[in-house]
Structure 1
Amino acid sequence: MKKNFILYILLVFLIVVNGFFIYNHMCDSTDRKPKKPQQPTNFIVKELKFSKEQLAQYKESNQNHKETMMRLSADIKNLKDVLFNKLSDVSVDEEAVDSITSLLGQKEKEKRISVFYHFKEIQKICDAKQKEKFAQIINDALHNKGKKDEGIDALEASDGKRKPPPKK
């Protein structure tokens, strides 16, 4: 009788615990949604504490940069499609492959130049104290380049899918 009693208690405990986990897992609760990662734009604005005027300038600059980056990314995607469609060709035209890869390199170069000048625009918006903080953010981002979802690529991402560099 004592063995059965222990088994019944264990069985009731397992049923209650399973019910609890099923309820928590299956219930549609809006306040349990995972928080979205902070977008790099929000990170920069928050860290530099932009005024309303600075924020307006920043948003305009950021929108222009975003459009440029989207255009360049689309160009790169199209060029890659053209390049890899050549895989099915019976003979390889090395000049065409070389030309396409050169164009790809040029588009990547344009992206990096655009990022550089975007950061220069942000720096122009800043006052002296903000410029020091911005330089620190950029420096931290450059030194965290090797880490996943960190570094300068996280700052230049406009889609919000990457995280800003961690604070030290």
Structure 2
Amino acid sequence: MKKNVLLYVLLVFLIVVNVFFLFNYLGNSDDTENRDRPKGPISFIVKELDFNDEQMLQLEKLNRKHHHRMMRIDDDIKQLKDALFNKLSDVSLNENSIDSITDLIAERVKEKDIEAFYHFKDIQDLCNDQQKEKFKSIINDALHKGGRNEQRPHLRNGGRGHRPPPPRH
């Protein structure tokens, strides 16, 4: 009988501790401070630039449009890559067809880079003069560091990186 009482007390203790854990770590996600701020990579820029409420509203609109455009482009790229790699099972390869698909992929990647550029330009346009200087610094740091604090690995073949051998004809 004493063993059962001890097990019940231990069970109640564990339940209370679990409820406490769940409430404190999972239940606090809707703080008023975090609810109004964007999530993801843009949150760093918002925090650093200290956007006001009007700038935040405009940024949210920009981000929604940008996200939809990027998703559309990503879907196009995925479909084109699927079409390209479906050609692996073809008995005879048509080089012109492969070149056409890879050219279309390159156009979509270019479109994606242009979209990202203009998105950052639109964010910069939201900034006041002081924020613009800070934004320029953030973008330059990201471009020069590549988003990493580590240095690029040394390449043994004269800095060209690894390239696959040319196709055989």
One-letter amino acid of the counterpart of residue 88, structure 1:
S
Unaligned regions of 5+ residues in structure 2, if any? 1-13, 30-38, 150-169
What is residue 119 of structure 1 aligned with on the other side? 120
Q: How far apart are 1:45 and its partner, in Å?
A: 1.0
1:90-134 CA-partner distances (Å, limit 9, x unpaired): 000111100000000000000000000000000000000000010
2:58 counterpart residue number: 57
Whether 2:104 is the aligned partner of 1:106: answer: no
Q: Deviations over 1:110-167 (max 9, x none)?
A: 000000000000000000000001001101101111738xxxxxxxxxxxxxxxxxxx
SS for the counterpart of 1:50 is: coil
Instruction: Give, in angstroms, the shift of residue 88 of structure 1.
Output: 0.3
After TM superposition, the score normalised by the length of structure 1 is 0.66
Instruction: State the alpha-carbon separation in 2 of the partners of residues 82 and 113 from structure 1.
Output: 24
Counterpart AA for 2:106: G
Q: Aligned residue pairs: how many?
A: 122
1:151 corresponds to which residue?
Answer: none
Q: Give the CA deviation at 1:40.
A: 1.1
RMSD (Å) for aligned C-alpha atoms: 2.3
Q: Equivalent residue of 2:51, what SS?
A: coil
The aligned counterpart of 1:144 is 145
TM value normalised by structure 2:
0.66
In the alignment, structure 1 residue 133 sits paired with structure 2 residue 144 = no
Aligned twin of 1:45: 46
1 CA distance for matches of 2:88 and 2:111?
26
Deviating above 4 A after TM superposition, structure 1's stretches of 4 or more consecutive aligned residues are: none
Instruction: For CA contacts below 8 A with separation 6 or more, give which structure has more relative contact order.
Output: 1
Among all aligned residue pairs of Structure 1 and Structure 2, give the percentage whose two residues are the same amino acid.
Answer: 52
2:120 and 2:99 map into 1 onto residues whose CA distance is: 32
Q: CA deviation at 1:70?
A: 0.5
Gaps of 5+ in 1: 1-22, 149-168
Query: Which residue identity lines up with residue 66 of structure 2 in the other structure?
Result: H
Which residue is equivalent to 1:92? 93
Which amino acid letter does the alignment assign opposite residue 73 of structure 2?
A: L
- C-alpha deviations, 1:68-90, integer Å up to 9, x for none? 10000000000000000000000
